[in-house]
Structure 1
Amino acid sequence: MDSLTLLPAVDVKGGQAVQLVQGVDGTEKVFGDPLEAARRWQDAGAEWIHLVDLDAAFGTGSNAEAIGRVIDAMDLKVELSGGIRDEASLERALGTGCERVNIGTAALENPEWCEEIIRRHGDRIAIGLDVKGDKLAARGWTREGGNVYETLKRLDDAGCKRYVVTDVASDGMLTGPNYELLGAICARTESPVVASGGISSLEDLRRLRGLVPIGIEAAIIGTALYVGNFTLTDALAVARGEEITEHGDAQ
């Protein structure tokens, strides 16, 4: 079986690395300098990070300087997200040197533009599907969008190469991924899916790796890493298919 790619999350708010609970502004726990966080994950063996400008996502500001510093200093691949809603913000994001960008709100509010940039930029565009029930969440999860499966079909028809699927109810809660949602998305698209939200244990990563054959390509891990539920070294080993116990012992 192929390995599961892991993307440690570096969410930036007010110039600091943070983690939110269910994406709610004001619930953040602060974890310090985002560059130090990114360097820690790179040193532990990460090949990717999921880098988010939360202020841009909420429309309350920008962490462009901090984001640029992280991308410039790192040797790993970056999936960049947060506030990319028009041509100017897209070009700025692509110009940072990131590997790909994750588009969320724009997919709901400006579908024609979204379909155009999928055609133009191909694999450098991932579409973020942030899901509450069977509805999409927009504008930093503060507004409701349309039906997730109708949107998925439209984006699939436009040729979307990759989806980042977040179960909003699970995000930051350490309650486990929404496997039912992930399975339903994979059943409706042949494009690879990046799972996000709820990962709390090495067992969660084992189960997600078991979904690689149906289309789960990668997983974003955030809170569980920052609070020490497991180490990134162990998580990467599990993602490769090695047997590691919850206490980090090889079997």
Structure 2
Amino acid sequence: MEPMILYPAIDLFQGKVVRLSRGDFSAETVYSFDPASQAQEWAGQGAEWIHIVDLEGAKTGELRNLEHVLKIRQKVSCSLQVGGGLRKAEDIETMLKEGINRVVLGTKALDRSFFMKLLERFGSQIAVSLDTREGRVQTEGWLKESGESLEAMLKRFNEIGVSTVIYTDIAKDGMLQGPNLEGLRDVLAWSRSRVILSGGIAALGDLVNCRKLTPANFDGVIIGKALYEKKFTLADALQSSARSA
């Protein structure tokens, strides 16, 4: 059995590392003024991947924190997964050329012709973020509803061969109340993509429960606020979530 990957999160807003509660831009907590140093801390604790989101980009549709993303790339050797504001092909190409390992699309994944061209060019370097509220997919930095159910969207992605999806239950994000495992089980059943869970991890026990999930397409978990609020260390989380073969 493959290991469950842990993705410590770095959410960027105006050059700072922040966390939001349920995507609310008025509920911002600042944790660091030096994103690259924060990335080095996660890498030093054993991170194989880091998940980075340009929150301003997600809201405005334009990259706002590119210089900070590229500085992180210069400072750490682990793999980087980056999303937020990636709605232009040239921005996506820039990210990948600069050594970002995987880019995450949200809103633009609904633009079928644009999305298919990206998949043809970049394949498994493209992931899709499925941010849901009560089973409906949200877009524009969680500010609008797509009108499509999660199940329908996943089945469409199965047909076109999306390699990785990130599942977020917005109600759980940043709340430290535990993940929506029932929703995750549904996503794993509906999807043929590799699935990453985001939102709600609050304790090491949540990681243990995630580790018990058996579907082969379960990739791993993004952890944010629990790390910044020091509920546990990344090193502890990696040890707790280790899977035996």
| TM-score normalized with structure 1 length | 0.92
- Aligned twin of 2:235: 233
- Aligned twin of 1:221: 223
Distance 1:212 1:101 in 2: 26
Counterpart code for 2:236: D
| TM-score normalized with structure 2 length | 0.94
| Deviation at residue 190 of structure 1 after TM alignment | 2.0
Q: Which ranges of structure 2 fall in alignment gaps of 5 or more residues?
A: none
Distance 1:43 1:90 in 2: 28
2:211 pairs with one of 209, 212, 221:
209
Q: Are the equivalent residues in 1 in contact too, given 2:105–2:126 (CA < 8 A)?
A: yes
- Aligned twin of 1:175: 177
| Deviation at residue 67 of structure 1 after TM alignment | 1.1
| Deviation at residue 216 of structure 1 after TM alignment | 1.5
Q: Which ranges of structure 1 fall in alignment gaps of 5 or more residues?
A: 243-251
RMSD: 1.4
Structure showing the higher strand proportion among its residues: 2
Structure 1: which 4+ aligned runs deviate by more than 6 Å? none
Distance 1:120 1:223 in 2: 34
- Aligned twin of 1:158: 160
Deviations 1:84-142 (A, max 9, x none): 1121221122222111011111112x122112212321110111100111111101101
**Superposed, which structure 2 residues align to 1:51-200 within 5 Å?**
51-59=52-60, 62-108=64-110, 110-145=111-146, 146-200=148-202
* Paired residue secondary structure (1:52): strand
* Paired residue secondary structure (1:144): strand
* Paired residue secondary structure (2:24): coil
Q: Percent identity?
A: 37
Cα 1:212–1:82, aligned 2, differ >3 Å: closer, same or farther? farther
| Deviation at residue 214 of structure 1 after TM alignment | 4.6
Counterpart code for 1:122: G
Distance 1:31 1:138 in 2: 26
| Deviation at residue 212 of structure 1 after TM alignment | 4.4
Cα 1:114–1:61, aligned 2, differ >3 Å: closer, same or farther? closer
| Deviation at residue 61 of structure 1 after TM alignment | 6.1
